[in-house]
Amino acid sequence: MKTVPPAVDRTLSMLRMMLLIRAFEEKADELFALGRVHGTMHLGLGQEAVATGVCAALKPEDYILSTHRGHGHCLAKGADVGRMMAEFLGKETGYCRGRGGSMHIADVSGGNLGANGIVAGGLPIATGVGLSIQVRQTGQVCVAFFGDGAANEGAFHESVNLASIWALPVVFVCENNQYAMSMPVRKSMRVARISDRAAAYGIPGMTVDGTDVLAVYDATEAAVALARSGGGPTLLECAAYRYKGHSKSDRQRYRTRDEVEAWRRRDPIAQLRARLIAGGVVIDADADALEAAARSAIDAALRFAEESPEPDPASLLDGVYA
Amino acid sequence: MKTVPPAVDRTLSMLRMMLLIRAFEEKADELFALGRVHGTMHLGLGQEAVATGVCAALKPEDYILSTHRGHGHCLAKGADVGRMMAEFLGKETGYCRGRGGSMHIADVSGGNLGANGIVAGGLPIATGVGLSIQVRQTGQVCVAFFGDGAANEGAFHESVNLASIWALPVVFVCENNQYAMSMPVRKSMRVARISDRAAAYGIPGMTVDGTDVLAVYDATEAAVALARSGGGPTLLECAAYRYKGHSKSDRQRYRTRDEVEAWRRRDPIAQLRARLIAGGVVIDADADALEAAARSAIDAALRFAEESPEPDPASLLDGVYA
Amino acid sequence: MTRLMSYAEAIREGLREEMRADERVVLLGEDIGVYGGAFGVTDGLLDEFGDRRVRDTPISEAAITGCAIGGAITGLRPVVEIQFMDFITLCMEQLVLQAAKIRYMFGGTAAVPMVLRTPGGSGTGAAAQHSESLEAWFAHVPGLKVVAPSTPADAKGLLLSAIRDDNPVIFIEHKLLYRTKGPVPDAPTAVPLGVADVKREGADVTVVATGVMVPRALAAAGMLAEEGISAEVIDPRTLRPLDAETLVASVRKTGRVVIVYEAVKTLGIGAEIAARIAESDAVSHLTAPIVRLGGAECPIPYNRALERAAVPQEEDILTAVRRVMAA
Amino acid sequence: MTRLMSYAEAIREGLREEMRADERVVLLGEDIGVYGGAFGVTDGLLDEFGDRRVRDTPISEAAITGCAIGGAITGLRPVVEIQFMDFITLCMEQLVLQAAKIRYMFGGTAAVPMVLRTPGGSGTGAAAQHSESLEAWFAHVPGLKVVAPSTPADAKGLLLSAIRDDNPVIFIEHKLLYRTKGPVPDAPTAVPLGVADVKREGADVTVVATGVMVPRALAAAGMLAEEGISAEVIDPRTLRPLDAETLVASVRKTGRVVIVYEAVKTLGIGAEIAARIAESDAVSHLTAPIVRLGGAECPIPYNRALERAAVPQEEDILTAVRRVMAA
Ligand SMILES: Cc1ncc(C[n+]2csc(CCOP(=O)(O)OP(=O)(O)O)c2C)c(N)n1
Ligand SMILES: Cc1ncc(C[n+]2csc(CCOP(=O)(O)OP(=O)(O)O)c2C)c(N)n1
Ligand SMILES: [Mg+2]
Ligand SMILES: [Mg+2]
């Protein structure tokens, strides 16, 4: 899968990004525990390498469509942490003026066309973004993130098929975290790899280790290159794992502690950190410093969010229509 | 694909059935031309071998779910020609008391759970019939007919996946007549064979010559045996062609006369007739007699339908609720 | 004799009793097995009835719905759970073009005895795609029945009737009601479909409320009583077929009506209720124009204060009733 | 200056003019290319604009709708054709949970300028799954606009406005109107969204009609005139936002109203119209209860006589008006 090893600075910035995503979600978890989050949320702790590796292979003008588990995608695509935290807490300064919240954070100007509360809901939309790129001939690419469970929705089938026949510049990135809520992948489909489904559309399918950010980056780079050159879509499956429950109501009866532990031993951040230290790129102290920097960036973001005003109830109907 | 050659009498009854289906639809076409049919209709002239070969491999207690192009399926599953013609003409004595018409003919007691006006609309229902068979342990099988165009609907994907993971006794029979209305198969999907899509569900996929009724019969027999034995679904593609336009509003700008002619030279009925004569099973005169018999059966059915009463407008609301 | 139990427990008890009583009843849905359902309603049913009758499905709402239809026309009585009412938007073709029409299209030769359970409503911070109140869509569809219970006893009683009914029934639960408690008869007690319930008698004004608006209307009626306003609170319970006569009779008596519902005001169930009153003789008894109190004309926002402002609250009901009394 | 042209030709001309004027307008749909659309509306547009802008799609209604949404939020102005309104049941999630809500959920940072054209209605012998009138569902959804023209000039004029609008617009055509002819202005003349049109002035009774019921109501009004009954016929034209004020003003004047629509009566658009009148001051001007004339509470049957009996006909309008005049 590996082509040339990505430049060291890029690798370092991927480490920084993964640390930022983790710090954001650990803070989110903490805030929820303190009863300071309205509603529910979906954490991607353990999946940081997928969002990071994929978005690192994109240009700022490229698009992504995200999911309900989208904090990582949003940050990796370059969102401002403060406005994101503000949206997470429903503040007027948030990306969606507090209307969207965790499940709908969108950074349209930054190319993130939105998290989505509907499983596979972003996939049909991704075909349209691809069509728009193709019709306007802008040379951009669109990445559509979705989960293993989403691969069983009709929308997945229709969308990948449409993108394939029109050779749209869309990369379908399946974040296979082994479960759809309580449903294990092996029980929800009779194929060994979700990327096997690429065969139904005559497009390339790949499965990579989603805990290895460099592997994810390289695979995405190849898929993006194909898409930009008019070669059409790729189905890229990234195998990873979510450490936390599906959402806040999850008692996790469907999996064992041992399974969780086994995956935690493959932690994407620890992996890269060890690799960089072994490669002599950084020493422990540098890595610790990066981690501390991520934490303080999140603290600053939280302060911004907390100091931000709540939306005015009188603005309830703003933005229903253009 | 052939295992043992099916018994001669079965082959003869398949010839009879194909002749009956053709006679029915030629009559339907004639009636339409005379302005005696309300609405539109979809003729399967040229596709008789698919309905006939598939249904010949089923038991009376087995189920089928049909399509908008379902006259053949209905007759092949054993419907009474008179009640069917009556429904076609919207009469009270029809299978649906004239409420359904050509696009909704159903012979529930005969195991035909209905034609369907919605492309791929019968596929989700077929999974439930399979579930019911599995839960009630009756040993029946359900065949779900659908077209090449239906294979691009989300319902196809969700249904085949569901049937595969639960190993439901459902056989998915794709009647690939090369076009979905004006859309050629090669433009609507990037795979060579629709049966290639079986790989996305870990189930067997087969493509057979849908103009060869014996090949269709043998392939279905194998798929049905697998389904009955708990082996789950099969995706069986039957390649055939519709001689007439998609429906009555079709100017057929999307295909050439030559293409139609080439397929007509492979006519399923002529094929089988020649085969039986070559095999010494029948002589020309016998075959002509069978054809005449089919025609007169249709004439009798038409008389029955014509002499049948129209539904009483006062019965408009009958059957909305049980 | 009755026991105090929650709305969610009452639904679970109804499912359990019907599954014990009738082998043909099977459950289909996402995460209804070991997870117990997103709101815990089916908790424990997998253990009791096994995975032959309690089926965890992939995320395939259209196929799940069709699966119930196919089962229903061939001898089962499936009960489907759609995890949030919003996702029913993925089932519309199977529900409306197939389930609702099959019997009619087939000239009465088939029946589709299935129930589709789904939680609707806002108030949980789930935002625009997990807070829909779409019941009016289904009440517009001949061939379907639509039920929306507001109490534990109604929830269980209407569920028993829905499962025993030979038609497709959309059974609408409310997220905010799952934990509310109320008395439920010990013996299985079916509540008939199509019969409204006068939750509180009154003489001055009729308040028609559905779902979570029923407890809000009752709370408001309590306060209004102290002001000397006697409000009659009626819960239609079944939205299709709608028991309009009970509503019209009350308006004939009071001459004033406030219709409270959570769904978007325009074309929510309150539109039909207002129309039924306006085409009846009760229109001539009106001493004030009909008042509808429905959801705001916007998607449900995430922010807590905005979310609250988007649907009728107790204080809105008080204000509206005082206004019609003043008119 | 005007020319006489059919409803279908008027829509085609509107599409052509907007495509010539705006590169961003693209067409998506099943068989809209070489086939020209199931009803011939897009005939010839592939030849003029090529397959980059006129896209024949596979049979994938959800993806087609999402494709329009994605195009709309990134710089295109897609116009989708859904071959029969019935099939919109497959687009509900994308239309209602995505297209209608994206702008609001995103705090106003995105716009979804798309049009979804689709033919509704019965009368062609297409039976229960090809004859739906589902406009009320969409009129219930904030974020969507809903248009239903009844004349060639309105069809073209409203289409121009719909394509130029920055919001998702559901554009409902009627199968029986495609071949009807009427005068259409030579110059591109947009008809504003949200404005009802008084098709015939009158003093005794207000007849509100939509879609194919408009010509039926006008024909009835002609006959009623001979009986000395002066009926005012109003076509709302846009169902969301609904121009209620024009309707209410007419009822204030006439004191009598008959609302005619093809959709199932319960919760069809007539329910909202009746409710708007009932909550307005006009209710006190009513000299007879409001009358709604809607479709029968059943799926559309195939048989010609049954199909005709399932929706309001000219004679039904005559009877209804005579009844309210007698009241
Ligand atoms: C159409 C739809 N069905 C069901 C849900 C409820 N739901 C939210 S996330 C989820 C699991 C999704 O699994 P997967 O696609 O693997 O993503 P993951 O949560 O594992 O990241 C479910 C069932 C939904 N939001 N949308
Ligand atoms: C969901 C849906 N979309 C579109 C249509 C209109 N339509 C009817 S048949 C047809 C073509 C179907 O093609 P295929 O599945 O290959 O079957 P065939 O007509 O070739 O037998 C179309 C587009 C429909 N009936 N249902
Ligand atoms: Mg997952
Ligand atoms: Mg075909």
Ligand 1 binding residues, C-beta < 6 A: A 68-69, 117-119, 147-150, 177, 179-181, 246; C 30, 59, 61, 83, 87, 90
Nearest to B200 by CA among C55, D112, D96, A205: A205
Task: Give tens-digit pLDDT for B174-224.
Answer: 999 999 999 999 999 999 999 999 999 999 999 999 999 999 999 999 999
Return the DSSP state at C166.
S
ipTM: 0.98
Residue D90 pLDDT grade (very low, low, confident, very high; cuts 50, 70, 90)? very high
Give the H/E segment covering residue C80: strand C77-81
Nearest CB neighbour to A152, from listed C31, C58, C90: C58
Nearest to D29 by CA among D69, D57, D10, D1: D57
Query: Rounded to an integer, what is the distance from CA D188 to the centroid of its chain?
Result: 20
Bridge-partner residues for C27, per DSSP? C54, C79
**SS3 for B3?**
coil
Residue C55: half-sphere exposure toward Cβ, Cα within 13 Å: 30
**SS3 for C173?**
strand
Query: Rounded to an integer, what is the distance from CA A292 to the centroid of its chain?
Result: 23
Nearest to D154 by CA among D22, D18, D11: D11
Question: What's residue B248's pLDDT?
Answer: 82
Average pLDDT over chain A, rounded to an integer: 97
Any chain C CB within 8 A of the CB of D168?
A: no
Contacts with A35 (C-beta within 8 Å, 6 or more apart), sequence order: none
Question: What's residue C55's pLDDT?
Answer: 98
Task: Give tens-digit pLDDT for A219-239.
Answer: 999 999 999 999 999 999 999
- Nearest residue of B to residue C142 by CA position? B320
Beta-carbon count within 10 A of A205 CB: 19
Q: Residue B1: is its pLDDT beyond 90? A: no
Q: How far apart are CA B306 and CA B294, in angstroms?
A: 18
Give the H/E segment covering residue C208: strand C205-209
A160, A190, A191: best to mutate for the B interface, most B CBs within 10 A: A190
Q: In B56-164, where do the E strands start and end?
A: 63-65, 142-147
Read off the pLDDT of each residue in D26-40 and give the average, rounded to a whole number: 98
Q: Residue A4: is its pLDDT beyond 50? A: no
Any chain A CB within 8 A of the CB of B161?
A: yes
Q: If you count them, how many residues does chain D have? A: 327
For CA atoms A220, A222, A227, A229, give the dihedral sign: positive
The answer to whether the beta carbons of residues B7 and B214 sit under 8 Å apart is: no
Residue B7 pLDDT grade (very low, low, confident, very high; cuts 50, 70, 90)? confident
Catalytic sites of C, residue numbers: 61, 130
Give the Cα-Cα-Cα angle A281, A285, A286 (nearest 5 degrees): 45
Beta-carbon count within 10 A of B43 CB: 24
A residues 12-71 lying closer than 8 A (beta carbon) to D: 63, 65
Task: Give tens-digit pLDDT for B217-272.
Answer: 999 999 999 999 999 999 999 999 999 999 988 999 999 999 999 999 999 999 99
Query: Are the Cβ atoms of B152 and A164 closer than 8 angstroms?
Result: no
Helix boundaries (H) for B111-181: 122-136, 154-165
Q: If you count them, how many residues does chain A have? A: 322
Task: Give tens-digit pLDDT for A63-93.
Answer: 999 999 999 999 999 999 999 999 999 999 9
Bridge-partner residues for B107, per DSSP? B112
Q: Residue A5: is its pLDDT beyond 60? A: no
Tell which one of D61, D83, D118, D131 to mutate to probe ligand 2, the residue whose CB is within 8 A of the most ligand atoms. Answer: D83
Characterise B168 by phi-psi region: left (phi > 0), alpha (psi -120 to 50), beta (else).
beta
Please give the backbone phi and psi of residue D117, each rounded to the nearest 5 degrees, phi first: -90, 140
Question: What's residue C327's pLDDT?
Answer: 87
Q: DSSP characters for A133-162?
A: HHHHT----EEEEEETGGGGSHHHHHHHHH
The answer to whether the beta carbons of residues B76 and B87 sit under 8 Å apart is: no
Nearest CB neighbour to B156, from listed A157, A187, A196: A157
For CA atoms D77, D83, D85, D91, give the dihedral sign: negative
Read off the pLDDT of each residue in B101-106 and give the average, rounded to a whole number: 98
Indicate which atom in ligand 2 lies nearest the CA of residue D38.
6
Q: How far is the CA of D46 from the centre of ligand 4 (A)?
A: 22
Q: Of the ligands numbered here, which is closest to the C-alpha atom of B51?
A: 2
**Peptide bond before residue D241 is cis, with ω within 30 degrees of 0:** yes
Contacts with B265 (C-beta within 8 Å, 6 or more apart), sequence order: none
Percentage of chain B surpassing pLDDT 70? 98
Nearest CB neighbour to B254, from listed D34, D86, D302: D34
Quick one: A3 exposed, middle or buried, by C-beta within 10 A (0-12, 13-18, 19+)? Answer: exposed
Query: Are the Cβ atoms of B101 and D125 closer than 8 angstroms?
Result: yes
Q: Residue B284: is its pLDDT beyond 60? A: yes
Q: How far apart are CA B96 and CA B102, in angstroms?
A: 10
String of b and e for D116-135 (b: at least 16 CB within 10 Å)? bbbbbbbbbbbbbbbbbbbb
Q: How far is the CA of A242 from the centre of ligand 3 (A)?
A: 8
Beta-carbon count within 10 A of A34 CB: 8
Q: How far is the CA of A119 from the centre of ligand 1 (A)?
A: 5
Task: Give tens-digit pLDDT for C153-184.
Answer: 999 999 999 999 999 999 999 999 999 999 99
**SS3 for B77?**
coil
B68, B131, B172, B317: best to mutate for the C interface, most C CBs within 10 A: B131
Beta-carbon count within 10 A of A166 CB: 21
Question: What's residue B238's pLDDT?
Answer: 99
Q: Angle at which helices D61-73 and A154-165 pack, to 10 degrees? A: 70
Percentage of chain B surpassing pLDDT 90? 97
**SS3 for B112?**
strand
The answer to whether the beta carbons of residues D104 and A99 sit under 8 Å apart is: yes
The radius of gyration of chain D's CA atoms, rounded to the nearest angstrom, is: 19
pTM: 0.98
Q: How far apart are CA C76 and CA C73, in angstroms?
A: 7
Name the token pair of B113.
């759970």
Q: Residue A106: is its pLDDT beyond 60? A: yes
**SS3 for B211?**
coil
Question: What's residue A1's pLDDT?
Answer: 36
CA distances from A160 to A65, A165, A202, C255 (A): 14, 9, 10, 58
Q: Residue D273: is its pLDDT beyond 90? A: yes
Task: Give tens-digit pLDDT for A89-103.
Answer: 999 999 999 999 999
Q: Of the ligands numbered here, which is closest to the C-alpha atom of A119?
A: 1
Which partners does chain A have (≥3 C-beta pairs < 8 Å)? B, C, D
The answer to whether the beta carbons of residues D146 and D139 sit under 8 Å apart is: yes
Task: Give tens-digit pLDDT for A233-267.
Answer: 999 999 999 999 999 889 999 999 999 999 999 99
Task: Give tens-digit pLDDT for D36-56.
Answer: 999 999 999 999 999 999 999
Indicate which atom in ligand 2 lies nearest the CA of residue C93.
1
Query: Rounded to an integer, what is the distance from CA A231 to the centroid of its chain?
Result: 24
Range scoring the smallest mean pLDDT among A5-14, A82-91, D85-94: A5-14
Characterise B181 by phi-psi region: left (phi > 0), alpha (psi -120 to 50), beta (else).
left
Residues of D with Cβ-Cβ distance to B40 under 8 angstroms: 124-126
Residue indicated by tokens 């999974």: B127
Residues of C with Cβ-Cβ distance to D296 under 8 angstroms: 142
Residue A1: half-sphere exposure toward Cβ, Cα within 13 Å: 20
Q: How far apart are CA C78 and CA B320, in angstroms?
A: 20
Return the DSSP state at A103.
G
**SS3 for D212?**
coil
B158, B190, B234, B237: best to mutate for the A interface, most A CBs within 10 A: B190
Query: Rounded to an integer, what is the distance from CA C176 to the centroid of its chain?
Result: 13
Bridge-partner residues for D78, per DSSP? D26
Helix boundaries (H) for chain D: 7-21, 45-53, 61-73, 92, 102-105, 135-139, 152-164, 213-226, 244-254, 269-278, 304-309, 314-326
Q: How far is the CA of D58 from the centre of ligand 2 (A)?
A: 10
Q: Chain C: give the shortest CA distance to residue D96, in Å.
A: 8
Residue indicated by tokens 């449900």: C300
CA distances from C263 to B169, C75, C259, C269, D142 (A): 42, 35, 12, 8, 11
Question: What's residue B5's pLDDT?
Answer: 56
String of b and e for D75-97 (b: at least 16 CB within 10 Å)? ebbbbbbbbbbbbbbbbbbbbbb
Tell which one of A47, A69, A118, A119 to mutate to probe ligand 1, the residue whose CB is within 8 A of the most ligand atoms. Answer: A119
Average pLDDT over chain D, rounded to an integer: 98
Question: What's residue B3's pLDDT?
Answer: 43
Query: Are the Cβ atoms of C67 and B321 closer than 8 angstroms?
Result: no
Nearest to A82 by CA among A318, A319, A303, A316: A303
Residues of B with Cβ-Cβ distance to C113 under 8 angstroms: 322
Read off the pLDDT of each residue in C209-222 and give the average, rounded to a whole number: 98
The answer to whether the beta carbons of residues D1 and D50 sit under 8 Å apart is: no
Percentage of chain A surpassing pLDDT 70? 98
Return the DSSP state at C327.
-
Question: What's residue A249's pLDDT?
Answer: 82
Question: What's residue D327's pLDDT?
Answer: 87
Residue A3 pLDDT grade (very low, low, confident, very high; cuts 50, 70, 90)? very low
Q: Residue B169: is its pLDDT beyond 80? A: yes
Q: Chain C: give the shortest CA distance to residue A50, in Å.
A: 22
Residue A7 pLDDT grade (very low, low, confident, very high; cuts 50, 70, 90)? confident
Q: How far apart are CA C93 and CA C100, in angstroms?
A: 10
Give the H/E segment covering residue B29: helix B8-33
The answer to whether the beta carbons of residues A121 and A110 sit under 8 Å apart is: no
